[in-house]
Amino acid sequence: MKKVFLFVVLAGFGLMSMISGDEGGAPKKVPSVMLKDLDGNTVNTAEVSNDGNPIVISFWATWCKPCILELNTIAENYDDWQEETGMRLVAVTIDDERNKPKVKPFVDGKGWEYEVWYDSNSELRRAMGVNNPPQTFLLNGEGDIVYSHNGFMPGDEEELYDEILKIADIEE
Amino acid sequence: MKKVLLGILLGSCLGVFAQPSLSGGQVTGNHETTFQYLNTDTIIGAFAPEQKVVMNSYTNVNYINGKFAAGMRLESYLPAIAGYPAFYSGTGVGYKYLQYNGDFVSFTAGNFYDQFGSGMIFRSYTEPALGLDNVMNGASIKVRPVNGIELKGVYGRQRFNFADGQVIWSEGIVRGLDADVNFNDLIPSFSESKLKITAGASIVSKYQPANNDTLRIPKNVAAYGGRISLRYSGFFMDAEYIHKINDPTQLNGYVYNTGHGALINVGYSRKGLGINLTAKSLDNMVFRSDRVVEGNQLFINYLPATSNMHTYILPGTLYPYAPNFAGEIGYQLDVLYKIPKKTKLGGKYGTDLNLNVSVATDRVRHTSSENFDVDRISYEGRPFDMTDSLFNFDFNLNITRKLNKKWKVAATYYHFIFNNDVNKVTNFASGYIKSDIIVLDVTYKIARKHTLRVEAQNLWTEKDRGDWAAFLAEYTFAPHWFVAVMDQWNYGNSNENQRLHFVLGSVGYLTGNSRIAVSYGKQREGILCIGGVCRPVPATNGLTFNFTHTF
């Protein structure tokens, strides 16, 4: 029993540190999953684009306090960020059927101007390997995932914005 | 313990030197490990297992290359952590699939999760925190013949147990078809209309062999239904109705009643205001791939919960409500309003209000015209036909306001009336448990990256174990660290020896896509609920280590 235990731990952590290292392969993209947006339109997640400008994909839920803090914090700066870098944010809600009807009123109630996708059965969440929200991915103009971050603490938005600035095509 | 740590170190080192060569395609996935070192603490009712240390671990890996994807999940329960379902044991592959994703057709072989409509007829999903996983094992296909139409077919057995590293699949087989039509996409002249219409229809059937000397048990049981969704500027309406044919099971006492589920959401929202009204009617709607299994296993469908999901510890875990399996009628009103910023009432940043009221009652059982000895139909249930027998009442009001750059305050009031005879959560009370709760949540930004958050909660009740207080202080310094300490105190217990403190300290470290958290202390026995499905968790005393990583 102990040996199995040891082996699993060893294998698990070995595998992880292997994969989390620099893969040197092709850059990661958003996998293709068919989701619906707030208006009921079907979106193919792999086709997300923003005219060559940065995209932030943020996984959240109405019951997730750090997620709401993150999206509220970004909302306070959203106009400036968009103006300066051309970025936009897609908020992927993993709320299931219990809370799904509250998502649209919630987004409007908070005054968020993000595009919102429903991932009610966690399909995109699984495809992108998200454990628990909030989880944020940053895509460059080619759709490559260049940065990702789990959790949110006040101040994290500044690190995210620094990363956005690195890839934004800013006209001097 | 030392050996384990050595193993971790070794494993990590090995990984650094390994150079995987992935040309084309990408690997995504995630990992979670939870270790617990448990002590026995007879005062709070916590018992250490023989092994002392317990562990849950799983790793998901997806390989995606163009339109192809494949993946698996390795799971370990050696043995499972405290309160986890006992049927989880060993190490093995819990989930594996091969998938093709085309524009016209997509298909999956092996394991898959999916959902039809609101899930009231079919929902295959997993909640690792609850140990809930009813993944399908078979094949699924999705066809999009024209823009605006999607057809789905699912076929397979469901995950039942995970014993000694082997998944045990259901005896029953689940077959389902679903059609979803988006009229705005389908009809070109309608595409720019402000009115958005989607509609769908589903049929799901299960097959299970039957041997019964006295009853003619149906081996194939079907459910079918439809749904419609309308949007017009700020207004929206979603409705679904599912009918299930006779489905005698151990849970319903082998009656041949039909079942129904109806769910309607109506609402309006615009910037700064959101209103949602939910109406729900369920009767004999537990739909499982096995007629003798009980608990939370082998559900084909999902019974929608229509009460607020509370996240603070006292309102969230003492008297949480989950839908009654036999059936219920429920209503819920949810209103979000933002008092505009820079107004006298709203303050500089605006003020958020959230009002939520929900009620669930028993349904009327019409028995007069039935002839039970002949047809074994015990009653007739009609949609939205409610009685005054209350199952649950929940009123809650939240006010959140940012005072200035440094201070943010949230206050919430709750009033619950919980029927412990219907959904039993405590052995210390019977009948209705009335409780009032106040939660204050104050955030103070000490410096640019340093934040202190304090929660103070109090619950008043005449019944059960009496009044509770809870206190939490959480200090975060971005981007990496958090420290928290929580105390729950049952100061109002009528038994003075049981006026206990449950103190729990936690430290966490986050970096990029990894999160490590260690907590030590006592956790109260309670109910853990996610998405309206609940599981009792035992009291524990000890050390918990949790690690998650996304790659």
Cα separation, B522 vs B507, whole angstroms: 15
- The per-residue pLDDT for B375 is 84
pLDDT score of B368 more than 80: no
Token digits for B190?
A: 């309608």
| Beta-sheet strand order (sheet of A42-44) | A42-44, A34-37, A115-118, A88-93, A55-60, A135-139, A145-150
Cβ atoms of residues B125 and B158 within 8 Å: no
Q: Which residues contact B279 (CB under 8 A, 6 or more apart)?
A: B262, B263, B264, B330, B331, B384
Question: Which residues of B322-431 form beta strands (DSSP E)?
Answer: 327-339, 351-366, 380-402, 407-419
For B508, the closest chain A residue by CA position comes to A151
Average pLDDT over chain A, rounded to whole? 84
Cα separation, B355 vs B370, whole angstroms: 43
Which residues share a beta bridge with B273?
A: B270, B337
Residues 58-117 of B with CB under 8 A from A: 59-62, 64, 67, 69, 74, 76, 78, 91, 101, 113-115
Chain A nearest CA to B152, separation (Å): 13
Which residues share a beta bridge with B458?
A: B438, B469
Q: Does the distance separating the beta carbons of B311 and A8 come in below 8 Å?
A: no
Phi, psi of A157 (to 5 degrees): -65, -25
Of residues B130, B143, B473, B514, the one with CA closest to residue B322: B130
- The per-residue pLDDT for B369 is 63
Of residues B303, B436, B433, B422, the one with CA closest to residue B361: B422
- The per-residue pLDDT for B544 is 93
- The per-residue pLDDT for B184 is 93
- For residue range B310-347, what is the model confidence (pLDDT) as tens digits? 989 999 999 999 899 999 999 999 999 999 988 999 88
Residues 119-158 of A with CB under 8 A from B: 120-123, 126-132, 135, 148-151, 153-156
Confidence of residue B28 (pLDDT cuts 50, 70, 90): very high
Q: Does the beta carbon of A49 lie under 8 angstroms from any beta carbon of chain B?
A: no
Pick from B272, B448, B510: CB nearest A109 = B272
Collect all residues of chain B within an 8 Å Cβ-Cβ radius of residue A29: 26
- For residue range B211-220, what is the model confidence (pLDDT) as tens digits? 888 889 999 9
Collect all residues of chain A within an 8 Å Cβ-Cβ radius of residue B231: 39-40
- For residue range A63-120, what is the model confidence (pLDDT) as tens digits? 888 899 999 999 989 999 999 999 999 999 999 888 888 899 999 888 899 999 999 9
Q: Does the distance separating the beta carbons of A39 and B150 come in below 8 Å?
A: no
Confidence of residue B532 (pLDDT cuts 50, 70, 90): low
pLDDT score of A7 more than 90: no
Phi, psi of A92 (to 5 degrees): -95, 110
Cα separation, B136 vs B97, whole angstroms: 10
- The per-residue pLDDT for B348 is 87
Q: Does the distance separating the beta carbons of A24 and B19 come in below 8 Å?
A: yes
Mutation site, B30, B230, B341, B443, interface A, largest A CB count within 10 A: B30
Q: How many CB atoms lie within 10 A of CB B138?
A: 18
Q: Does the beta carbon of A75 lie under 8 angstroms from any beta carbon of chain B?
A: no
Q: Does the distance separating the beta carbons of A121 and B113 come in below 8 Å?
A: yes
Q: Does the distance separating the beta carbons of B271 and A111 come in below 8 Å?
A: yes
CB pairs under 8 A between A and B: 258
Average pLDDT over chain B, rounded to whole? 91
Q: How many CB atoms lie within 10 A of CB B373?
A: 6
Residues 178-217 of B with CB under 8 A from A: 182, 184-185, 196, 198
- Please name the residue that has the structure tokens 């509370």: B310
- All domains in chain A, ordered by first residue: 28-167 (3.40.30.10)
Q: Does the beta carbon of B21 lie under 8 angstroms from any beta carbon of chain A?
A: yes
Considering chain B, what percentage of its residues have pLDDT values greater than 90?
Answer: 74
pLDDT score of B530 more than 70: no
Cα separation, B159 vs B146, whole angstroms: 34
Collect all residues of chain B within an 8 Å Cβ-Cβ radius of residue A37: none
- The per-residue pLDDT for B72 is 96
Q: Does the distance separating the beta carbons of B123 and A15 come in below 8 Å?
A: no
pLDDT score of B3 more than 60: no
Q: What is the CA radius of gyration of chain A?
A: 17
Collect all residues of chain B within an 8 Å Cβ-Cβ radius of residue A14: 10-12, 14-15, 18
